[in-house]
């Protein structure tokens, strides 16, 4: 099987022109891509700066809760999104990240990882998140020596082995189902009750090699050179227990990638960007969508919808506030 992801279209040269963009979208996941799509259809001069196309979708093996698809691979869905944007000829600057963002008067200056700068009237931050870590002793030491944050990448190393999955949400549930094809035994350790969808739980309960410890907190990863096991605390029975295991897959949610704008806008305690119902941040002209925002439900369809909302609000802002202010300045 081949997962071809290269575009045959010429590399965008739009990003080397010295111009003032209507909108620069930062991030190539569902929120950023859909934001750019809606903006383009409104006639805005929009470009995307993206480390990759698909974002966290690429870490998802199967998607079965996106309306219109009973089941589609995460990457295949990202290809469909990408194709849609290529069809609309939205320029995408791939393999690039934004190092810094500044607001000067009304407009924004973005400095990219390659040192180039872009100027834009508005910016949409859709930078998603990175996997949250447990923060327990041994986790860092045995990272990639048994501890993994990417099931689709690393599951093959655990063929016929015993693995532990930390987490109880949909990502954890999907990791369990992915790992079930490789591992001989899976032990789930989760600090509270399941949050995953019932359809996924039904599949997990049908497996005969899964042991589940709810209300149990992981305390330590131990081993010598490679990990040998985990220590956990059973909250209900108030006692520690040990699971001897070859691998630990950590699926406990995400940390928002809000570093770029954290000092410019309001964020909550978790570092998520606070936006109003129009996806606008506390800084005028700067919008955010998807997992980087404080909305609690991290879902593909919600991120895409937020991208759309942001683009429509940006269009309104450019037509009303932005021009009005510019006229006032004259």
Instruction: Using CB under 8 A, list all residues that contact another protein.
Output: 1-8, 11, 52, 54, 58-59, 75, 95, 113-116, 143-148, 150, 152-158, 225-226, 247
- Cα separation, 128 vs 290, whole angstroms: 6
For CA atoms 144, 148, 150, 154, the dihedral sign is positive
- Cα separation, 27 vs 67, whole angstroms: 23
Task: Rank residues 148 and 267 by Cβ distance to another protein and give the closer one.
Answer: 148
Q: Residue 276, SS3?
A: coil
**Are the beta carbons of 228 and 244 closer than 8 angstroms?**
yes
Is residue 119 within a helix (H) or strand (E), and if so which, with residue range? strand 117-125
Task: Rank residues 117 and 278 by Cβ distance to another protein and give the closer one.
Answer: 117
Task: Rank residues 15 and 287 by Cβ distance to another protein and give the closer one.
Answer: 15
Q: Looking at the chain, how many residues does it have?
A: 330
Please state the closest distance from residue 247 (CB atom) to another protein, in A.
7
* Residue 47, phi then psi, degrees to nearest 5: -140, 155
- 144 φ/ψ sector (left φ>0, alpha ψ -120 to 50, else beta): left
Please state the closest distance from residue 21 (CB atom) to another protein, in A.
20
Please state the closest distance from residue 29 (CB atom) to another protein, in A.
13
Sheet holding 239-244, edge to edge: 216-224, 226-234, 239-244
Please state the closest distance from residue 33 (CB atom) to another protein, in A.
16
Please state the closest distance from residue 10 (CB atom) to another protein, in A.
8
Please state the closest distance from residue 8 (CB atom) to another protein, in A.
4
Task: Rank residues 150 and 201 by Cβ distance to another protein and give the closer one.
Answer: 150
Angle (deg, nearest 10), helices 198-205 and 170-179: 30
Please state the closest distance from residue 54 (CB atom) to another protein, in A.
8
Task: Rank residues 4 and 236 by Cβ distance to another protein and give the closer one.
Answer: 4
Please state the closest distance from residue 94 (CB atom) to another protein, in A.
9
Please state the closest distance from residue 7 (CB atom) to another protein, in A.
8
DSSP state of 190: -
Task: Rank residues 153 and 324 by Cβ distance to another protein and give the closer one.
Answer: 153
Q: Residue 55, SS3?
A: helix
**Are the beta carbons of 270 and 129 closer than 8 angstroms?**
no
Task: Rank residues 112 and 312 by Cβ distance to another protein and give the closer one.
Answer: 112
Task: Rank residues 5 and 109 by Cβ distance to another protein and give the closer one.
Answer: 5
Task: Rank residues 124 and 179 by Cβ distance to another protein and give the closer one.
Answer: 179
- Cα separation, 89 vs 13, whole angstroms: 12
* Residues forming beta bridges with residue 226, ordered by sequence position: 224
Is residue 217 within a helix (H) or strand (E), and if so which, with residue range? strand 216-224
Q: How far apart are the first and last CA of the chain?
A: 59
* Residue 285, phi then psi, degrees to nearest 5: 90, -10
**Are the beta carbons of 216 and 232 closer than 8 angstroms?**
yes
């Amino acid at each position: 099987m081949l997962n071809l992801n290269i575009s045959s279209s010429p590399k965008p040269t739009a990003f080397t022109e010295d111009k003032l963009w209507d909108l620069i979208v930062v991030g190539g996941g569902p929120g950023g891509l859909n934001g750019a799509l809606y903006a383009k259809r409104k006639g805005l001069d929009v470009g995307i700066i993206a480390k990759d196309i698909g974002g966290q979708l690429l870490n998802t093996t199967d998607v079965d809760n996106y309306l219109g698809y009973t089941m589609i691979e995460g990457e295949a869905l990202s290809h469909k999104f990408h194709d849609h944007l290529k069809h609309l000829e939205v320029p995408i600057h791939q393999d690039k990240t934004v190092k810094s963002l500044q607001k000067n008067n009304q407009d924004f200056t973005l400095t990219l990882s390659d040192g180039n700068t872009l100027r834009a009237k508005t910016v949409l931050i859709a930078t998603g998140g990175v996997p949250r870590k447990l923060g327990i002793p041994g986790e860092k030491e045995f990272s990639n020596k048994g501890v993994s944050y990417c099931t689709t990448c690393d599951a093959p190393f655990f063929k016929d082995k015993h693995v532990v999955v930390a987490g109880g949400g949909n990502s954890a549930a999907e990791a369990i189902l992915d790992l079930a094809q490789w591992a001989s035994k899976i032990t789930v350790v989760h600090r509270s009750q399941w949050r995953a969808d019932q359809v996924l739980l039904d599949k997990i309960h049908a497996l005969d090699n899964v042991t589940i410890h709810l209300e149990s907190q992981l305390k330590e990863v131990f081993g010598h050179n490679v990990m040998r096991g985990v220590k956990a605390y059973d909250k209900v029975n108030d006692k520690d227990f040990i699971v001897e295991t070859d691998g630990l897959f950590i699926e406990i949610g995400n940390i928002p990638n809000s570093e770029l704008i954290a000092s410019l806008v309001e964020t909550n305690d978790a570092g998520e960007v606070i936006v109003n119902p129009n996806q606008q941040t506390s800084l005028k002209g700067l919008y955010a969508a998807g997992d980087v925002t404080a909305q609690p439900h991290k879902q593909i369809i919600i991120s895409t919808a937020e991208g759309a909302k942001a683009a429509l609000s940006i269009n309104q802002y450019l037509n009303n506030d932005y021009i009005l202010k510019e006229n006032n300045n004259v």
